[in-house]
Amino acid sequence: QDVCSSLEILCEDSHTGVKVWMLYTVFEDVDIITRSVKILNGGKEELYLTKVFSACLDMDNRDFDAVSLHGSWARERQIQSVPVSHGKFSVESVRGESSHQDHPFMALKTKGTDQDQGEVYGMHFVYSGNFKATVHSDQFDQVRMTMGIHPEGFRWKLLPGEEFQAPEVVLVHSHEGLGKMTRTLHDFYRKHLIRSVYKDQKRPILINNWEATYFDFNTDKLISIARQAAELGIEMLVMDDGWFGKRDDDNSGLGDWYVNEEKLGESLQDLIQRINGLGMKFGIWIEPESVNEDSNLFQEHPDWVMRIPGRNPVRARNQLVLDFSRKEVVDYIFEQICKILDLGVEYVKWDMNRSLADVYSCAAKDQGNVFYDYVLGLYDFLERLVQRYPNILIEGCCGGGGRFDAGMLYYTPQIWCSDNTDAVDRVRIQYGTSFGYPVSSVGSHVSAVPNHQTGRSTSLKTRGVVAMAGTFGYELDPGMLTEDEKQEIRSQIEQYHRYAPLIQNGRYYRLTNPFVSEAGAWEFVSEDQKEVLFQAVMLEIHGNMTVNYVRLKGLKRDCLYQEQTSGRVYAADALMETGIPLPTAFGEYQAYQYYFKEVEES
């Protein structure tokens, strides 16, 4: 194809007969090279791969800083920048997932690099399991950056004649700062990685019942949420955790993927019909990789979980992890889930609420394969799902954003960004997420206040603006809204329909750094630069505050732009050189949103 071409460099070890292909794939339309390696055991004896990195970059030292993303549950993808020095700096996960804590991304930037200028060399792993990225400066001050599968827990047996293909690392370079790096990655993932029918389509505006009801719901409650939501213009109801097995809290039920009709009050088919009757799509939550000991599945197949024989397993959220390195386990769960999806489900939220521990498979011949085989089992399941239901929209999730990575993005065009729905915290979480991921992939909802994770109250407008910088949806009980709030939601939804193509396909610019600025501000610019959506949230308020001017980016010089609500006309150069003064309206966390169109010459 014309899309890309690959260079293969073959290295051969004549002593063992091992062949290693180093693969470099260059894309024609975007500044990306992907790297990986393939290894063939061309010898006569079995061998074990114990360290296979997919990419290695050696460079002259240019006084680099290493940028990485770190975090925790509800605090994903915060930014860190440390000087590259002698001695290794690494980010890594051995949790079986890309994790909340570290992220499979690392970028080296020259001193003084900001969003618009400076050299950046980034690496991003297309893989969802254990990883390690390192950088160090050697004895001659040369810099080496590597990325690949984490060697810990990896000991891959390769019989004579067998091959091992390592996952790809995406290499990105920018000579125009971190902003350009981000836009290149966004383009690359939107054009060459995300493959759902929803890739370029406007995503349905959904309402999810999790924060509205938690486990306490039945179909009457769901219908009442859906009916009110439909009146507001919301297009899909997502039934979250609690609809299956014996599941009234997180102690039981996982693994039993059949509908709890007694709890719901009717069959899933009837519920879906009623939801569709309201003109809405129906979506559902699943967590296929997990099991509670208090479940029929565990009673029948206690050996299907990962656990070390003779030891008490580590439980997290009262659950264990199913052994997805075993095909029969994947097959069985797949079959159960299909029975549900066949009933007319149009969206799936694929969750995974714990990381892996006790990684031991009683069926495995070689325990050194299990971590990796687990990820292959997960991908196999997802691949089958995507093939069988090409029109279902799948949203990844992992206790929020614990497995937000390019590997998952291949199967799930959007991923729940964080369990933290607080608009102010989200400004920072979404800022960090934007470094590598297109906004079209960032799951984001308007939830109730005081926020359930922080207790903070922000206005509906602020919550709407922040959720619009993502896939946009709601996660609250519409029955608790006042008439004024309902009216405001109707107008938010109207706005979203207008702005969605720009948000989903536009060029994304970070205008301030919300970790240090008084305001978080960002912007979407259409490919032809004729449309601009500016969004900002005040993160701090002070008496007699200094005015924050936020400078726009990426506009056409020497042109005029008209802000569509006020009708005011601005010169592009003024917007980019002087900036827009953010109002200092009373009250915390005000949000501002301005939509500009180029004034065409008459």
Would you please indicate which residues are annotated as catalytic (active-site) residues? 405, 485
- Shortest CB 426 distance to ligand GLA, Å: 14
**Spatial contact of 71 and 25, defined as CB atoms under 8 Å apart:** no
Q: Strand pairing partners for 92? A: 132
State which residue, 361 or 447, has the beta carbon closest to ligand GLA.
Answer: 447
State which residue, 34 or 290, has the beta carbon closest to ligand GLA.
Answer: 290
CA-derived radius of gyration, the chain? 25
**Spatial contact of 97 and 143, defined as CB atoms under 8 Å apart:** no
State which residue, 247 or 553, has the beta carbon closest to ligand GLA.
Answer: 247
Distance CA 290, CA 91 (A): 26
State which residue, 350 or 596, has the beta carbon closest to ligand GLA.
Answer: 350
**Spatial contact of 121 and 67, defined as CB atoms under 8 Å apart:** no
Q: How many CA atoms lie within 13 A of 212 on its CB side?
A: 26
**Spatial contact of 81 and 108, defined as CB atoms under 8 Å apart:** no
Q: Are strands 4-13 and 18-27 parallel, antiparallel or unpaired?
A: antiparallel
- Contacts with ligand GLA by CB under 6 A lie at 210, 240-241, 285, 351, 353, 397, 399-400, 416, 419
Distance CA 388, CA 537 (A): 42
**Spatial contact of 203 and 472, defined as CB atoms under 8 Å apart:** yes
Q: Which helix (H) or strand (E) holds 185?
A: helix 177-192
**Spatial contact of 596 and 561, defined as CB atoms under 8 Å apart:** yes
- Shortest CB 241 distance to ligand GLA, Å: 3
State which residue, 248 or 270, has the beta carbon closest to ligand GLA.
Answer: 248
- Shortest CB 116 distance to ligand GLA, Å: 35
- Shortest CB 390 distance to ligand GLA, Å: 24
- Shortest CB 406 distance to ligand GLA, Å: 20
**Token pair of 148 as six digits:** 């690949």
Q: E strands of 339-454, at which residues? A: 347-350, 393-396, 414-416, 442-443, 445-447
- Shortest CB 457 distance to ligand GLA, Å: 21
- Shortest CB 401 distance to ligand GLA, Å: 8
State which residue, 76 or 102, has the beta carbon closest to ligand GLA.
Answer: 76
* Chain centre distance of CA 23: 26
Distance CA 254, CA 318 (A): 10
SS3 percent helix, strand, coil of the chain, rounded to 5, is 25, 30, 45
State which residue, 93 or 290, has the beta carbon closest to ligand GLA.
Answer: 290
Q: Which helix (H) or strand (E) holds 425?
A: helix 423-434
**Spatial contact of 595 and 565, defined as CB atoms under 8 Å apart:** yes
Closest residue to ligand GLA using C-beta atoms: 241
- Shortest CB 206 distance to ligand GLA, Å: 12
Q: At what angle do helices 219-232 and 483-505 cross, to 10 degrees?
A: 70
State which residue, 285 or 404, has the beta carbon closest to ligand GLA.
Answer: 285
- Shortest CB 250 distance to ligand GLA, Å: 6
State which residue, 281 or 507, has the beta carbon closest to ligand GLA.
Answer: 281
Residue from 596, 505, 514 nearest 555 by CA: 596
Q: Are strands 347-350 and 320-321 parallel, antiparallel or unpaired?
A: unpaired
Q: Strand pairing partners for 476? A: none
